[in-house]
Structure 1
Amino acid sequence: MPAGINIKTGKVHYWFYDWKNSFVVIECLEKLLEEYSGKEIYVIMDNWSAHKSYDIKVWNTLHPRMHLVYLPSGASFLNKIERVFSFLSRDVLQNSNFQTVREAMENISNYFDNGGSIMV
């Protein structure tokens, strides 16, 4: 589940995909461009290879409002979304017994849409 957090508002942006790769990352970045139309956007990312792929670099040159900033290697503790995922795991996923993927997705959506993990 790709996700990001607006560190100014605490809003968590998340998307459900069956897989993660650089093309999914690009789709998510494009959704952020739409949501924050006309604004400069800074996205802080870890060093996952899909975040630094050739496709991402080419896409980024065509979208100058999007500024991609990469964390230093070994600095995952600086990545706010990791803390969000930790809270999600604790508050929703641990000790759960979802019967379907859809049920899990609905619970995750309810959590984020109702202010879950707002205090990062």
Structure 2
Amino acid sequence: MARNLHTGKRHYTFYDWKNSFIVTQFLEELLKRYPDKDIYIIWDGWSAHRSEHTKMFLDLHPRIKILPLPTRASWLNPVERDFSQIQRFCLSNSDFQTVTEGMAAISNFIEKEPSLNGKCT
């Protein structure tokens, strides 16, 4: 997930797995959505963020500016707060019958709750 801190708009995609190739694919989508803007990314120390593949991608796309988080400082990242709200209001004590049902509920929550404070349906 990424958030435009000026507008509050969240960009997200569901994937079956997470790795550096998925990270760069997501970054490519952000580059397309914001073709004339620099993109600032707040990142933690996840290995996919530090991989050679990701480093090479970033070298080729200087509009992407990385703002690394200090170790154990996830609370500084606004997207981590979003994940916490999704966990609290949408996933905890949920009883989704399928993955698709869960993904739909999360999408609905993100789209309908700009502040991410509310009930997941």
Please report how far the alpha carbon of residue 30 of structure 1 lies from its aligned counterpart in structure 2 after TM superposition.
0.5
Show structure 1 runs of 4+ deviating over 4 A: none
Kept in 2, the 8 Å contact 1:43–1:66? The answer is: yes
Please report how far the alpha carbon of residue 115 of structure 1 lies from its aligned counterpart in structure 2 after TM superposition.
2.7
Q: Which amino acid aligns with 1:101?
A: V
Distance in 2 (alpha carbons) for counterparts of 1:112 and 1:22: 24
Please report how far the alpha carbon of residue 116 of structure 1 lies from its aligned counterpart in structure 2 after TM superposition.
4.4
1:40 to 31, 38, 41: 38
The aligned length equals 117
The higher relative CO (CA closer than 8 Å, separation ≥ 6) is in 1
Q: Which amino acid aligns with 1:94?
A: S
Please report how far the alpha carbon of residue 9 of structure 1 lies from its aligned counterpart in structure 2 after TM superposition.
1.5
Where in structure 1 are there 5+ consecutive unaligned residues? none
Kept in 2, the 8 Å contact 1:87–1:117? The answer is: no
Please report how far the alpha carbon of residue 66 of structure 1 lies from its aligned counterpart in structure 2 after TM superposition.
0.9
Hey, what does 2:51 align to over in structure 1?
53
Once the two structures are aligned, what percentage of the paired residues are identical? 50
* 1:7/1:118 CA distance change after superposition, 3 Å: farther
Q: Which amino acid aligns with 1:46?
A: D
Where in structure 2 are there 5+ consecutive unaligned residues? none
Deviations 1:33-54 (A, max 9, x none): 0111111111111011110111
Please report how far the alpha carbon of residue 96 of structure 1 lies from its aligned counterpart in structure 2 after TM superposition.
1.2
Hey, what does 1:97 align to over in structure 2?
95
Matches within 5 A, 1:1-120: 3-118=1-116
TM-score by structure 2 length?
0.90
